């Protein structure tokens, strides 16, 4: 998948995944391995949670249409990986209350420059 095209979204809005009894079967082990890797990313990537959940429903008997959708998620992750570097800010702080009234607050932003986290996550998937 290193030389594949990229996708702007993790799932096509026009695709309707169903049981697809008449579809071509695919390697169950490979499909489950991809779903497992994507489920690992599920925690840190809320943008792909729905797509992974839909694809995970078909682990018992995956068809080519399901596998194609999983590959689109990987193409989406590749698109994210190819994005610009992100500047992440870690925010910490405290609030002081007297009863129900806020009397003081403090916040601190720490800047850390890092490449997109999808790069490391994408490598885990492969």
Dig out the tokens for 93 from the structure: 């702080």
d(CA 114, CA 83): 12
pLDDT mean over 18-45 = 89
Predicted local confidence at residue 126, as pLDDT: 47
pLDDT beyond 80 at 44: no
d(CA 33, CA 120): 17
Helix 64-81 and helix 117-125, axial crossing angle in degrees, nearest 10: 150
pLDDT beyond 70 at 119: no
Is 17 or 28 the better-scoring residue by pLDDT? 28
Predicted local confidence at residue 111, as pLDDT: 58
pTM of the predicted protein model: 0.64
With 0-12 / 13-18 / 19 or more C-beta atoms within 10 angstroms meaning exposed / middle / buried, residue 119 is middle
pLDDT mean over 20-46 = 88
pLDDT beyond 60 at 45: yes
pLDDT digits 0-9 by tens, 58-81: 999 999 999 999 999 999 988 887
pLDDT band at 83 (very low <50, low <70, confident <90, very high): low
* Spans of all domains in the chain: 1-83+118-126
Within 8 A by CB and 6+ apart from 19, the residues are: 58, 61
Q: Which helix (H) or strand (E) holds 7?
A: none
């Amino acid at each position: 998948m290193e030389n594949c095209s990229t996708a702007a979204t993790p799932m096509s809005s026009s695709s309707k995944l169903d049981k697809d009894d008449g579809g071509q079967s695919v390697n169950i082990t490979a499909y489950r391995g991809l779903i497992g890797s994507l489920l690992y990313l599920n925690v840190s990537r809320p943008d792909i949670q729905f797509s992974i959940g839909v694809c995970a429903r078909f682990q018992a008997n995956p068809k080519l249409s399901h596998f194609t959708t999983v590959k689109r998620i990987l193409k989406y992750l590749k698109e994210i990986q190819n994005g610009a570097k992100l500047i992440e800010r870690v925010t910490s702080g405290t609030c002081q209350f007297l009863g129900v009234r806020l009397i003081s607050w403090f916040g601190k932003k720490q800047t850390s420059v890092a490449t997109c986290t999808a790069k490391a996550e994408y490598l885990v998937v492969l």
